[in-house]
Chains A and B, each alone.
Chain A
Amino acid sequence: MKGTVGKAFIVGAAILSLVMAASAGFAETVKVGVLLPLTGSQAKFGEIEKRSYEMATEEINAKGGVRGMKIELRFEDDTGKPDVGRSGVEKLISRDKVPVLTGGYSSSVTAAATPVAQQFKVPFVISTGSADDITEKGYDYIFRVNPPASEYPNAVKSFLQGVAKDVKTVALLYENSAFGQSSSKSFEKDCADLGLKIVVKEGYQAGAIDFKPVLTKVKAANPDMIYMVSYVMDASLLMRQSKELRINPKLFIGGGAGFTLPEFAKSAGTAAEGVYSATLWLETLPFPGAKEYYDNFKKKYGIETEYHGAEAYAAMQVVADALKRAKSLSPKDIRDALAATNMKTAFGPVKFVSYGKKTQQNKLDTYMVQWQKGELVAVWPKSVATKMYIYPTPHWDMRK
């Protein structure tokens, strides 16, 4: 009798200690706060990024996590609104006590949310928000993986100098948002440098049904090139209605954001053919893990990913790398580790440098892609091109 009680006691103690050990193992996670638009009109991109963050985290955790602990993501929905983004960051810092933050999709939200992180002295690794001034405020806790908006068209500039030398006049259309204004302003400067004349410059409200008034003005000015800074569905309507009005410049160029998504081609149909876009990433680029990321994403979620997802995936790689190297898990030490980042990600090499007015900004090349027969192919610079560019864009009436 005594023996059984003793045995039961031992077994019980063993189970108890096991449970405790297990629970202790689970409790030891590193929380990483992620700010993304999960509802609202930008939710589509928020979703791609969220999935990329989750995928990167799963891969890191499968390899043993960081410092023997698993990474746990805490998402906060900014709904695409700056004020919600601010309170989201506050919540992550004060309620969830995250030692490091990442994410930041739209420029407006990122610009509003990063000062909060700076104020609480918690490092924030921006994955997407690209308005230039975000990294021009001298904040020492804010890092940016993606290039600023003004550098998106670098490849476009070299294309105009190298190939499209006969382009003299430009129509500039942009979404009236922080990203659109920042991009259009810097592109205007680029045009001045290249000696191009801007004949029409128009902002528009995102989500408009009818772009014909603006496009009619563009048609009347008959520019050699139309440069558009638009999100995906505005981009598709702009191209569809350009086709309806038979506007025939030598070049249609999208300045990033919407023109590279599969939805753009699906919705614009034949009107997407021949459209160029600046882009920050392609799965065919020679970066370690780029192709794997693209394939795994497609396998896992059944949909294609694009540069926004790659930015998120790389941002997570950067955060995990810093967590591994940091002296401790205090925000200050993580910040110091981030500042010393020098690694290769699926999105390209990441190293935070200061140049011009910018601080802790990653410097990257940009690329140019073109829709050819329903496929997005890299065409510029030549070193990464998978197909020859088609220039000038064929006349609408000449197409089959």
Chain B
Amino acid sequence: MSVTNTRRSRHIGITLSKRTGLVFILPALILFTVFVLYPLLTALSYSFFNWTGIVRGDFSVLDNYVTLFTKLPYRDQVPNAFFHNVLLFVGAMVFQNTVGLGLAVLLHRLKRFKRFFQTIFTLPYLVSPLVVGYLWSLMLSPLFGPVNFILKAVGLEEFAQPWLGNPATAIWVVVFVTAWQWVGFPVLLYGAALGGIPQEIEEAASLDGASSWQRFREVTFPLLTPAIGTVSVLTFIGAMEAFAIPYALGGSQGSPAGATDVLSLLFYRTAFESGASNAIGTSSAIATLLFVFIFGVAVFITWFMRKAERKLY
């Protein structure tokens, strides 16, 4: 192995015997297997059985999955909830890659107060999603919520409305609140990525007479691809797993009229609130579909972004 070889070869060395290595890994492996892996695999198996309360019945092949798509209320609720998850993903992506990216670019050029703004933008990200949801539900209350109060005070009375009571606005409230909470993350991530772009590249481009928009589009933006990839994957996972914010804003029923329902809520209701006798079977089928979908798409985005990166460099 030559000395001038890459860092990698120097870094991955072997100093532990297999046996000692196992000793090191064992505690984590046991914990992970018992509390993550075993429940995960068991949950998959649950979905192939017919249940009566907590008593497992016959092997039912795909019956529970068929139920999800053919029987009420699932055949209505599954697509409805899924559509809201997609809206959440798209909405958050748009918000993060416009507002978030814009803020990061502005911050990048800023001389003073940079840390201050970073702190302010990131704060909502740290607050519990449940607290965020409840806080906004109070803010938007039609009776004495500050939001409608402000709208009325500045003469925008016609915009004052029961935001969470109208299905047309309720889901957008969920989207906005989610995006509002998450925006600090892309600001920091894009900020760091921008900071990592060598000044020379931008300067060279600007000497070539490129306008600042051209510079951004052709130099900066491609260099941000890896960061955008990371944001996409995390936003996707976050949007598909959304639970606490919709729960706090619309309750477990996704009120009004299912307008804020998402898949995690549907899973929760089916498993624990429906009182249906096959609750375990049906809810495990929902869980399994979600496992496959989230994991599959996350892996795909990761793979796709890696490919895109490779093309760039």
- Do A and B assemble together? no
Residues of A near any B CB (own CB < 8 A): none
